[in-house]
Amino acid sequence: MPARSLRPRLFLLVAFSALLIMPCSVSGATPPPLPSLTLSLSNDTLFGDEDLVISAAWSRDASFYRPPGSVDVLIYSASSGSPVAGYTILEDDRVAADDTTRYFRGTVPSSELPEGKLLLVATDPVSGAEARAPIDVIEPGPDYPGVQAKRYAETAFFAVAAVLLAVLVAGLGLLLRRP
């Protein structure tokens, strides 16, 4: 008798397991669509002392992301792909905005840009939406070597500080372990 009552239970267990293994679509598994981010530049080619004016428009149609307060702009060298500079563009107060559209505007001094072809990548820090625009700088900025040296010094400082912090934490951990 116990063998007969085990068969229906085993069948139900196998059927239930098969239902769990079957793939099915879940609407919550797909992320909401990203907002639209467009990037426009004052000039695609910079000569001499012209500053670069960057404008960005953020809009969401069916997206659930909240509007950002600023847009991050990273500048890369097109030939090597290495980062050159990073800037934060704030919201433009002169243009009316609503819940679905925001405008950002900022200026990058040409004195801080190197010579050559560059790629600007604007990123919404909230949703991760991106926009890209190429630019060609004819003459390097006079302040670029100093600005670049300052960026390298800051990077080196933070790297050394991180290593020293790790050594101090490890030393503190060893002191606390000893009786």
Question: Which amino acid type is present at position 153?
Answer: A
Over residues 4-62, the pLDDT tens digits come to: 678 888 888 888 887 777 776 656 657 778 888 999 988 888 776 778 899 999 988 75
Q: What is the pLDDT of residue 2?
A: 57
Q: What is the pLDDT of residue 62?
A: 58
Task: State how far the Cα of 57 lies from the Cα of 74, in Å rounded to an integer.
Answer: 16
* Structure-token pair, residue 68: 């950002």
Over residues 63-122, the pLDDT tens digits come to: 678 888 899 999 898 888 888 888 899 988 877 767 788 899 998 887 778 888 889 999
Task: State how far the Cα of 16 lies from the Cα of 40, in Å rounded to an integer.
Answer: 56
What pTM was computed for the model? 0.63
Residue with the larger pLDDT of the pair 179 and 166: 166
Over residues 111-158, the pLDDT tens digits come to: 778 888 889 999 999 888 899 999 888 876 655 666 666 767 777 898
Q: What is the pLDDT of residue 61?
A: 73
Spatial neighbors of 37 by CB under 8 A, at least 6 apart, are 56, 57, 58, 71, 122, 123, 124, 129, 130, 131
Q: What is the pLDDT of residue 134?
A: 92
